[in-house]
Protein backbone atom coordinates (compact mmCIF):
# COMPACT_ATOMS: atom_id res chain seq x y z
CA UNK A 1 0.00 0.00 0.00
CA UNK A 2 1.46 3.32 -1.01
CA UNK A 3 -0.13 5.38 1.76
CA UNK A 4 -0.47 3.30 4.94
CA UNK A 5 -2.40 4.35 8.01
CA UNK A 6 0.19 5.71 10.44
CA UNK A 7 -1.75 7.33 13.29
CA UNK A 8 -5.25 7.21 14.78
CA UNK A 9 -6.51 10.13 16.86
CA UNK A 10 -9.37 10.40 19.33
CA UNK A 11 -10.97 13.80 19.72
CA UNK A 12 -13.21 13.85 22.80
CA UNK A 13 -14.75 16.20 25.31
CA UNK A 14 -13.41 14.09 28.21
CA UNK A 15 -9.82 13.01 27.64
CA UNK A 16 -9.37 11.81 31.22
CA UNK A 17 -12.33 9.42 30.95
CA UNK A 18 -11.09 8.15 27.57
CA UNK A 19 -7.59 7.59 28.97
CA UNK A 20 -8.95 5.64 31.94
CA UNK A 21 -11.22 3.53 29.71
CA UNK A 22 -8.65 2.57 27.07
CA UNK A 23 -5.84 1.98 29.56
CA UNK A 24 -8.08 -0.41 31.55
CA UNK A 25 -9.56 -2.05 28.47
CA UNK A 26 -6.51 -2.44 26.23
CA UNK A 27 -3.49 -1.74 28.49
CA UNK A 28 -2.28 1.03 26.19
CA UNK A 29 0.69 3.07 27.34
CA UNK A 30 -0.36 6.71 27.49
CA UNK A 31 1.89 9.74 27.87
CA UNK A 32 0.99 13.41 27.87
CA UNK A 33 2.94 15.97 25.87
CA UNK A 34 2.39 19.70 26.05
CA UNK A 35 2.25 20.79 22.42
CA UNK A 36 1.52 24.48 23.09
CA UNK A 37 0.62 26.50 26.16
CA UNK A 38 -2.67 25.06 27.42
CA UNK A 39 -2.78 22.26 24.84
CA UNK A 40 -1.83 18.78 26.02
CA UNK A 41 -1.78 15.85 23.61
CA UNK A 42 -1.85 12.28 24.89
CA UNK A 43 0.31 9.89 22.87
CA UNK A 44 -0.97 6.32 22.58
CA UNK A 45 1.63 3.54 22.38
CA UNK A 46 -0.01 0.25 21.44
CA UNK A 47 3.23 -1.75 21.25
CA UNK A 48 3.02 -3.34 17.80
CA UNK A 49 0.98 -1.72 15.08
CA UNK A 50 -0.27 1.80 14.50
CA UNK A 51 -0.35 4.05 17.55
CA UNK A 52 -2.12 7.30 17.96
CA UNK A 53 -3.19 10.05 20.25
CA UNK A 54 -6.00 11.68 22.19
CA UNK A 55 -6.95 15.32 22.50
CA UNK A 56 -9.77 17.53 23.72
CA UNK A 57 -12.30 18.24 20.99
CA UNK A 58 -11.55 21.74 19.70
CA UNK A 59 -15.21 22.51 18.91
CA UNK A 60 -17.56 22.75 21.89
CA UNK A 61 -20.31 20.13 21.67
CA UNK A 62 -18.70 18.18 18.83
CA UNK A 63 -19.13 14.42 19.14
CA UNK A 64 -16.21 12.24 20.13
CA UNK A 65 -14.66 10.51 17.14
CA UNK A 66 -11.60 8.55 16.01
CA UNK A 67 -9.80 9.89 12.91
CA UNK A 68 -7.22 7.88 10.96
CA UNK A 69 -4.18 9.53 9.34
CA UNK A 70 -2.38 8.26 6.25
CA UNK A 71 1.26 8.83 5.36
CA UNK A 72 1.80 11.12 2.36
CA UNK A 73 4.89 12.35 0.57
CA UNK A 74 3.56 15.89 0.10
CA UNK A 75 0.78 17.05 2.44
CA UNK A 76 0.28 20.30 0.51
CA UNK A 77 -0.21 18.54 -2.84
CA UNK A 78 -2.36 15.77 -1.34
CA UNK A 79 -4.64 18.30 0.37
CA UNK A 80 -4.99 20.30 -2.84
CA UNK A 81 -5.77 17.17 -4.85
CA UNK A 82 -8.39 16.08 -2.29
CA UNK A 83 -10.07 19.48 -2.59
CA UNK A 84 -10.05 19.22 -6.41
CA UNK A 85 -11.74 15.82 -6.07
CA UNK A 86 -14.56 17.26 -3.97
CA UNK A 87 -13.26 17.05 -0.41
CA UNK A 88 -13.83 19.75 2.18
CA UNK A 89 -10.64 20.88 3.93
CA UNK A 90 -11.40 20.88 7.67
CA UNK A 91 -7.89 21.58 8.95
CA UNK A 92 -5.58 23.06 6.34
CA UNK A 93 -1.89 22.17 6.19
CA UNK A 94 -0.53 22.69 9.71
CA UNK A 95 2.94 22.13 11.19
CA UNK A 96 2.94 19.93 14.31
CA UNK A 97 5.70 20.93 16.73
CA UNK A 98 9.00 19.45 15.55
CA UNK A 99 7.39 16.25 14.20
CA UNK A 100 5.87 17.01 10.81
CA UNK A 101 2.87 18.47 9.00
CA UNK A 102 -0.76 17.42 8.94
CA UNK A 103 -4.09 18.27 7.34
CA UNK A 104 -7.62 16.91 7.73
CA UNK A 105 -10.33 16.60 5.13
CA UNK A 106 -13.90 15.41 4.89
CA UNK A 107 -14.27 13.25 1.81
CA UNK A 108 -17.26 13.62 -0.54
CA UNK A 109 -19.15 10.94 1.47
CA UNK A 110 -18.70 12.88 4.73
CA UNK A 111 -15.93 10.74 6.27
CA UNK A 112 -12.96 12.41 7.97
CA UNK A 113 -9.37 11.43 7.24
CA UNK A 114 -6.05 13.05 8.04
CA UNK A 115 -2.81 13.33 6.08
CA UNK A 116 0.60 13.12 7.77
CA UNK A 117 4.01 14.09 6.39
CA UNK A 118 6.87 13.54 8.84
CA UNK A 119 9.43 16.30 9.21
CA UNK A 120 12.33 15.95 6.81
CA UNK A 121 10.35 14.00 4.24
The continuous run of DSSP H or E covering 66 comes out as strand 65-71
Q: May I ask the CATH class of domain 72-121?
A: alpha beta
What pLDDT, in 10s, does the model give residues 1-54?
A: 679 999 999 999 999 999 999 999 999 999 999 988 888 999 999 988 899 999
CATH, domain range 1-64? 3.10.180.10
Interatomic CA distance for residues 121 and 119, integer angstroms? 6
Q: What is the pLDDT of residue 16?
A: 96
In the chain, domain spans:
1-64, 72-121
Interatomic CA distance for residues 79 and 103, integer angstroms? 7
Identify which of 55, 13, 49 has the alpha carbon closest to the alpha carbon of residue 30: 55
* Same fold: 1-64 with 72-121: yes
Q: Reduced to 3 states, what is the DSSP secondary structure of residue 57?
A: coil
The continuous run of DSSP H or E covering 106 comes out as strand 100-106
Q: What is the pLDDT of residue 1?
A: 61
Interatomic CA distance for residues 10 and 29, integer angstroms? 15
What pLDDT, in 10s, does the model give residues 51-110?
A: 999 999 987 888 999 999 999 999 999 999 999 999 999 999 999 988 999 999 999 999
Amino acid sequence: MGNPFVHVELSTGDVDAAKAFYKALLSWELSDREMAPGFTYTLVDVGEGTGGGMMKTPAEGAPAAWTPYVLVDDVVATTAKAKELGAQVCVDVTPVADMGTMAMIKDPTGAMIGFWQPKGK
